[in-house]
Amino acid sequence: MPTYREAHRRSIEDPESFWGEQARRIHWETPFEQVLDRSNPPFARWFVGGKTNLCYNAIDRHLAARARQNALVYVSTETGIERRYTYAELHAEVNRMAAVMRSLGVTQGERVLIYLPMIPEALFAMLACARLGAIHSVVFGGFAAPSLAARIDDATPVLIVTADAGARAGRVIDYTPLVDEALARATHKVPKVLLIDRQLAPERLQAPYLVAYEPLRERFFDAHVPCVWLESNQPSYVLYTSGTTGKPKGVQRDVGGYAVALAASMEHIFQGKPGDTMWTASDVGWVVGHSYIIYAPLIAGLTTVMYEGTPIRPDGGIWWRIIEQHRINLMFTAPTALRVLKKQDPKLMEQADLSSLRTLFLAGEPLDEPTAQWIQSALKKPVVDNYWQTETGWPMIAIPRGIEALSPKLGSPGVPSMGFALTVRNEATGEICAPGEKGVIALDYPLPPGCMQTVWGDDSRFIKTYWNSVPGQQLYSTFDWGVTDEDGYVSILGRTDDVINVAGHRLGTREIEEAISSHRAVAEVAVVGVADSVKGQVALAFVVLRDAQALDKAGAREALEAELARSVDAHLGAIARPARVHFLATLPKTRSGKLLRRAIAALAEGRDPGDLPMIEDAGALVQVKEALAR
């Protein structure tokens, strides 16, 4: 077997040969004629002329050998419902959903907007779109109506698939009023809305565009819908990234390149084997859910676990019991979830049988040292970080355990993955940075299979946004600061637009967060930069303590704030010291655990926080406002 360096070098220098071999991992109904067409940079076309189908690769091709193997395990600690679907049963459900969609006018190339909680029907709907050759656009369940309307107008779907409600932390979130308001706001008129009734909210079928799913499912119970074979470069889905201003960007992904990249990643990065069980604790509304709840595990013949709930309901041991009960082999989550679990009674983990678990994978944000040390010590299993974006579709930096078991390094997600010609560049000159020198993480053309093709309906925005920011170079910018070491390991230092310029000194918010989180009293921290009339910007820190009662004593708040400032001084120097440290009970996060740093910064500057998903705790932003008002 080649070493990592040999394999990576080949994937960059001879991508046609490398990816031509990887393409054997999936089924091609029609063989491709050309591995890579790079005649129109910065666009790249992979496996040109080949015809395939994501649904066929995820389900149908496994039926001969895996019809009775579990394909999907569904667990909801919100409703107490658990369901299992074999590959044969999943095949039947997806055919039913596809027949229902077809009866409502969904055909090849049309868009279907999926606005669902974490329920099996979300997976059925995504795979049904793939089966029909339609383009799905999944919007995170509970997203605010104005943001939903913007996505309706951009994607112009012929159908919306939604549910009566979602559930989170014991709260029922009624979806239908959000859909009603979004449809009223949107310019594009959607003919039909398919409603999945969970019987969690008042039934609402009065609107003429609403169609109940269950009667149609019964009508098409025995349906078989043939797969539509798509040329490799036809769109498979559009997934929107949100921002504080401007129109959301629709990340458009292809069919063939995505399938090949995911299949390769399951071996090269995740070491997933057919018959394994993989639990990705994310949401189908995010790219991690698309890639590693839905498509990749099924393409590789695994059992995938879909979870509706939080890490601490009904108690802080629920995740560990799920691993034991369902014999999870691979788990994938975010560091934020671990920080929540870290605060729970350690006996809850000790009581669970975690012998089935081989590896815990993390992504979504950098893994801080205290959390890394805690989980490694407590779990006694490999804990492997990785780094990627909605735009790339799969990890661009990881430990290539399926190729060479490189040793992880604390603070780094690893080395560039196969096909990613990754460098760290000086933001002013575009020159490659020396090891240890901070710069912008960039990718050479062409992007490997599985990455975004373009911005939906706007090629010029794709070029302007991603390919024109590095001076004098045709490079894709990740908009993340990074640094490499002498061995090629990459560390992420935060977003380029989250850099604070304090009196001419450029400071990454992530670096300040690391310094504060090293204090024994700190459970979580978010640092943002806000405008300052004297220094240009200053840092504000928002801290959750391990023991909130520590602030009850007179003078304790001021004393602890001073201690945290000294910690920053010790790590980074006085220039990085936050102007204020605010103490909160909880930080604003999305349901998948990402901190809403931009929203916090907007509130600190008196701005509208803009395009926000449904957050984990509705009172968290109120806490931020109250803290700022003190």
Please state the rounded mean pLDDT for residues 239-246: 63
- Asked whether residue 258 falls in the same domain as residue 292, the answer is yes
Same domain, yes or no, for 105 and 170?
A: yes
pLDDT of residue 371: 86
Q: Is the dihedral of CA 183, 602, 288, 79 positive or negative?
A: negative
- Is 163 contained in some domain? yes
> What confidence tens digit (pLDDT) does each residue in 67-123 have?
999 999 999 999 999 999 999 999 999 999 999 999 999 999 999 999 999 999 999
Are residues 620 and 473 both part of a single domain?
no
AA identity, residue 102 = R
Regarding whether 194 and 155 lie in a shared domain, the answer is: yes
For residue 428, the model assigns a pLDDT of: 87
525: containing domain: 503-629
CATH number at residue 546: 3.30.300.30
**Are residues 452 and 526 both part of a single domain?**
no
Best CA proximity match to 466, nearest among 289, 296, 252 = 252
Q: Which of 430, 446, 479 is the last residue of a domain?
A: 479
403 with 452, same domain: the answer is yes
Residue 51 is assigned to a structural domain of this protein: yes
Say if residue 180 is in the same domain as residue 229.
yes
List beta partners, residue 362: 333, 385
Give residue 616's pLDDT. 61
Two structure tokens written together for 172: 């029922």
| Cα–Cα dist 129/107, whole Å | 9
Residue 462: pLDDT above 60? yes
Regarding whether 511 and 458 lie in a shared domain, the answer is no
The pair of structure tokens assigned to 542 is 């928002």
Residue 495 forms part of a structural domain: no
- When divided into structural domains, the chain yields a total of 2
pLDDT band of 243, cuts 50, 70, 90: very low
Sign of the CA dihedral 387, 389, 395, 396?
Answer: negative
pLDDT of residue 244: 36
For residue 354, is it within any domain?
Answer: no
Q: Are residues 277 and 399 in the same domain?
A: yes
Question: Which comes out higher in pLDDT, residue 242 or 621?
Answer: 621
Residue 410 located in a structural domain = yes
Residue 574 pLDDT grade (very low, low, confident, very high; cuts 50, 70, 90): confident
374 in any annotated domain = no
| Per-residue model confidence as pLDDT tens digits over 194-233 | 999 999 987 666 678 899 999 999 999 999 999 999 999 9
Average pLDDT for 382-401: 96
Q: The whole model's pTM is what?
A: 0.86
The answer to whether the beta carbons of residues 115 and 160 sit under 8 Å apart is yes
How confident is the model over 128-182, as pLDDT tens digits? 999 999 999 999 886 778 889 989 999 999 999 999 999 988 889 899 988 999 9
For position 281, which CATH number holds? 3.40.50.12780
| 462 and 609, same domain (yes or no) | no
Q: How high is the pLDDT of residue 330? A: 98
- Local confidence band at 410 (pLDDT 50, 70, 90 cut-offs): confident
Q: Do 131 and 188 sit in the same domain of this protein?
A: yes
472 and 512 in a single domain? The answer is no
- Taking only the tens place, the pLDDT of each residue in 288-302 is 999 999 999 999 999
3-state secondary structure 403-463: CCCCCCCCCCCEEECCCCCEEEECCCCCCECCCCCCEEEEEECCCCCCCCCEECCCHHHHH
| Cβ–Cβ < 8 Å for 299, 130 | no
Question: Over the stretch 341-389, which tens digit does the pLDDT of each residue have?
Answer: 988 999 999 999 999 999 999 998 778 788 888 999 999 999 999 999 9
Question: Residue type for 263, please?
Answer: A
User: Does residue 468 fall inside a structural domain?
Assistant: yes
Does residue 473 sit within a domain? Answer: yes
